[in-house]
């Protein structure tokens, strides 16, 4: 699996583990994509789950868990 890019946004809740949130370009880097490609996937409804924080267009954040799930959902078994 890819390593997390630099400068993630981390949050810690009193009741849970630390979660790592990435903005568009670091999330794209984690997935091996260009930032514009991930934006297009999001607009076309093809990309990983994301969170929109704030009003209007808001800030787009991706959790590493969601990125990993999206990668796994595209797994191809060549022997199937």
8 A C-beta contact, residue 22 and residue 5: yes
Does any domain span residue 5?
Answer: no
Does any domain span residue 46?
Answer: yes
Does any domain span residue 36?
Answer: yes
Q: Mind listing the pLDDT tens digit for each residue in 51-74?
A: 999 878 889 999 999 999 999 999
* Beta-strand relationship, 19-22 and 51-53: unpaired
- Per-residue confidence (pLDDT) for residue 15, from 0 to 100: 53
Q: Which structural domain, as residue segments, surrounds residue 47?
A: 21-73
CATH number at residue 38: 1.10.1660.10
| Domain total of the chain | 1
Does any domain span residue 15?
Answer: no
Q: pTM for this one?
A: 0.75
Phi first, then psi: what are they for 17, rounded to 5°?
Answer: -75, 170
């Amino acid at each position: 699996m890819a390593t997390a890019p630099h400068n993630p946004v981390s949050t810690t809740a009193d009741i849970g583990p630390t979660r790592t949130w990435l903005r568009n370009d670091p999330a794209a880097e984690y997935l091996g994509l260009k930032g514009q490609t991930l934006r297009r996937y999001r607009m076309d409804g093809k990309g990983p789950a994301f969170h929109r924080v704030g009003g209007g267009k808001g800030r787009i954040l991706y959790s590493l868990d969601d990125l990993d799930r999206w990668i796994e959902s595209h797994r191809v078994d060549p022997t199937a």
